[in-house]
Chains A and B, each alone.
Chain A
Amino acid sequence: MKIRKWMVVVGAAGCALSVSAQTRVVCLGGAITETAWALGAGETVVAVDDSSVYPSENRALPRVGYYRMVSAEGLLSVNPDLVLAHEQSGPPEVMEQLAAAGVRVVRIPSSATVTGLLDRVRSVGAALGRREQAEAIAASLETTLAEVAAAVVEPRPRVVFVFARGAGTLQVSGAGTAADEIIRLAGGVNAIEGFSGYRPLTAEALVAANPEVILATTSGLGSIGGPDALWAVPGVAATKAGEARRVVAMDDLYLLGFGPRLPAAIAELREALIP
């Protein structure tokens, strides 16, 4: 313990504002972990939550569970100095206990929007003492996102995002969701209107929305049994997407995480939306 503390002190003295290489970081939230790696701080990450599946180096790290239900002592047992926490991390009592134990707990803005992504990159950068790298990444993200936004093709395809956790639990996403945002960014239109958040999919509402493309996550589509099972869901076959058998499946964190890979995800989705 003592030796480690000394190393931190020496390290901190060595590189004035920057955080020393000995800093032990725990990331709670997949997009936050990705951002830490993008900033070149991957080797300081000592543990991650269950949603941190990218990059694959994280798989070798200890997992501290689900970010909204972490255990105070479990997290302390990996001896962290800094916790980069998703806004919804919890329970709140545990976050207080971590802070009381001398761990720096930094809440990272977590909204699934472009502004949210830029805020996230900057605040992770600030917490890790890598402001310059963060500014560079934010600037390049802004440029790429502007390029991507300029390339919208009319007419915009109508898309429905189907959120599945096994057959029989299909939901569609309305306004204000990550899926709604990425569909818009990729040049599509969310065919589901009139409500915000997630609602159960009903056959008639889906037929009325009549999407040209159905968007899903790879794991979600897998959970219901692949595209064939999707076409068999009542109502789906009667839509334009069903007739043309057009479904786009993308990785959960890549598509909806709003991490540093967002421009690539937008470009890939746009490619897939063009008939």
Chain B
Amino acid sequence: MKSAALILAPLDSAVTQRRHSLRPRGWWLVPVLAAALLAVLVAALSIGALPIAPASVVTALANAVGFETAWAVSEREALVIAHIRAPRAIMGALAGAALAIGGVLMQALFRNPLADPALVGVSSGAAVAAAAVTVIGSTFFVDLGWSSPFVLPAAAFVGGWLTVLLTLRLARSAGQTRIEQVLLAGIAINALAGAAIGLLMLIADDAQLREVAFWSFGSLGRANWPSIAWLAVALLPALVLYRLVAPWLNALLLGEGEAALLGVPVERVKRGAIIVTCLAVGATVAFTGLIGFVGLVAPHIVRLLAGPDHRVLLPAAGLLGAVLLPLADLFARTVAAPVELPIGLVTALLGAPFFLFLLLRERREIPR
């Protein structure tokens, strides 16, 4: 919070607005991260358990969009590039962006840098639904087997949403969504969801138990083009609306009362941010399972580098999430090949120490 003038720039007069909003602090981070994203995507396409020569990678990509090259590529290699690596890389980027943007929105709403979309129950609701499908559903869906890959994501998405709507309903009184109430209702709902998962795990057999455990560690292994299309649609509102809500979120940092005085439609921003977040994060969780730390670490790193202005924070954190997750996935699928590590394990394993490092550094910088 360097200066109120900067943060509130878009609400100022037209003249100052133009001067400030052209170059918000840390704007350079956005093109840098976009370049990094490109580099990570190239790496994610080139490296994997199956060794494929760079020339074959280029050829496979060129063939996929209808061009020819001088090199040859085997059918299997082309398929690995176009239907296994490419969807994983893109799904990773979309999921990382969704988690990071969700993190930023929740942190602005709760005015707490540790806030997370999980607070409103979207992840735990999805987890209950996923566990229910795995443990109980196998009795009903037994014949669907691997012919119906959409049962689990659909159930997880609906489960996440029902939980969020319940949380919002509980926190709404007299036309007002009170953020402390959202937090408290979220905690209660999360506890309830934890109990439900515990109950399901009690009656699960060994194989189902392992499946629930794997789901809760997250994986991009289920990525394919249809699921990417769904995820992109769910992420669209966040991408379209961020420029509109960024100045409002800046104003919200001052407090809800102050923001309202500045003309921010506080109630609509609050509900809108939660809904946009849960749309993106709900779809992500549905397809990937639980992936922790990206939503926490990505916004935090951007804040350290570029400050808290949401006009930079939102796109930069989204891009950083889109860089970090495919990178973590690259690590997860190559380090122990042909076995794959759960990606949530990798993000926690690398993210948690890094986060602690950031916290310690920050503490040292604050004068006592």
Smallest distance from the beta carbon of B111 to chain A beta carbons, Å?
39
A165 touches B (CB below 8 Å): yes
State whether B203 touches A73 (Cβ < 8 A): no
Number of inter-chain CB pairs below 8 Å? 115
B365 touches A (CB below 8 Å): no
Query: In the complex, A132→B346 CA distance in Å?
Result: 48
Other-chain contact of B205, A74, A87, A90, A177 (Cβ < 8 Å): A177
Query: In the complex, A64→B338 CA distance in Å?
Result: 5
Query: In the complex, A94→B80 CA distance in Å?
Result: 11
State whether A200 touches B83 (Cβ < 8 A): no
User: Which listed segment binds A: B143-151, B154-162, B271-279?
Assistant: B143-151
User: Which listed segment binds B: A97-105, A135-143, A145-153?
Assistant: A97-105
State whether B206 touches A165 (Cβ < 8 A): yes
Query: In the complex, A100→B223 CA distance in Å?
Result: 14
User: Which listed segment binds A: B182-190, B214-222, B350-358?
Assistant: B214-222
B207 touches A (CB below 8 Å): yes
Residues A97 and B214 in contact in the complex (CB < 8 Å), given A73-B333, A77-B50: no
What residue of chain A has the Cβ atom nearest to residue B78's Cβ? A101
B64 touches A (CB below 8 Å): no
Query: In the complex, A177→B203 CA distance in Å?
Result: 13
State whether A93 touches B221 (Cβ < 8 A): yes
What residue of chain A has the Cβ atom nearest to residue B146's Cβ? A92
Chain A residue contacts of B340, Cβ below 8 A: 65, 69-71, 74
A68 touches B (CB below 8 Å): yes
Residue with the highest number of chain A CB atoms closer than 10 Å, among B204, B224, B340: B340
Query: In the complex, A70→B339 CA distance in Å?
Result: 7
State whether B222 touches A94 (Cβ < 8 A): yes
Report B98-154 residues with CB < 8 Å from chain A CB.
Answer: 145-149
Other-chain contact of B206, A47, A76, A163, A200 (Cβ < 8 Å): A163
State whether B75 touches A102 (Cβ < 8 A): yes
State whether A197 touches B205 (Cβ < 8 A): yes
Chain A residue contacts of B222, Cβ below 8 A: 91-94
A63 touches B (CB below 8 Å): yes
Other-chain contact of A76, B50, B147, B210 (Cβ < 8 Å): B50
State whether A77 touches B337 (Cβ < 8 A): yes
A95 touches B (CB below 8 Å): yes
B364 touches A (CB below 8 Å): no
Smallest distance from the beta carbon of B329 to chain A beta carbons, Å?
11
Chain B residue contacts of A177, Cβ below 8 A: 205
Residues A87 and B339 in contact in the complex (CB < 8 Å), given A69-B214, A69-B219, A97-B84: no
State whether A93 touches B149 (Cβ < 8 A): yes
A37 touches B (CB below 8 Å): no
Smallest distance from the beta carbon of B211 to chain A beta carbons, Å?
5
State whether B80 touches A76 (Cβ < 8 A): yes
Smallest distance from the beta carbon of B55 to chain A beta carbons, Å?
14
State whether A74 touches B339 (Cβ < 8 A): yes
Residues A71 and B221 in contact in the complex (CB < 8 Å), given A76-B76, A163-B206: yes
Smallest distance from the beta carbon of B37 to chain A beta carbons, Å?
22
Query: In the complex, A74→B340 CA distance in Å?
Result: 7
Chain A residue contacts of B221, Cβ below 8 A: 69, 71-72, 91, 93-94
Other-chain contact of A101, B79, B145, B149, B339 (Cβ < 8 Å): B79
State whether B214 touches A66 (Cβ < 8 A): yes
Chain A residue contacts of B148, Cβ below 8 A: 92
Query: In the complex, A70→B210 CA distance in Å?
Result: 13
B70 touches A (CB below 8 Å): no
Other-chain contact of B146, A62, A96, A198, A199 (Cβ < 8 Å): A96
Chain A residue contacts of B145, Cβ below 8 A: 87-88, 92, 107
B310 touches A (CB below 8 Å): no
A75 touches B (CB below 8 Å): yes
B229 touches A (CB below 8 Å): no
B24 touches A (CB below 8 Å): no
Query: In the complex, A76→B337 CA distance in Å?
Result: 11
B176 touches A (CB below 8 Å): no
State whether B224 touches A77 (Cβ < 8 A): no
State whether B203 touches A102 (Cβ < 8 A): no
Report B207-254 residues with CB < 8 Å from chain A CB.
Answer: 207, 210-211, 214, 219, 221-224, 227
Nearest 8 Cβ contacts at the A-B interface: A74-B338, A92-B146, A71-B340, A92-B149, A77-B49, A65-B339, A77-B50, A93-B222
A-B contact pairs, 5 of them (CB 8 A): A63-B338, A71-B221, A73-B337, A77-B48, A100-B79
Given A69-B219, A73-B80, 13 additional A-B pairs, CB 8 A: A1-B74, A63-B339, A65-B338, A66-B210, A68-B214, A76-B80, A76-B84, A93-B221, A93-B222, A94-B221, A96-B149, A102-B75, A198-B203
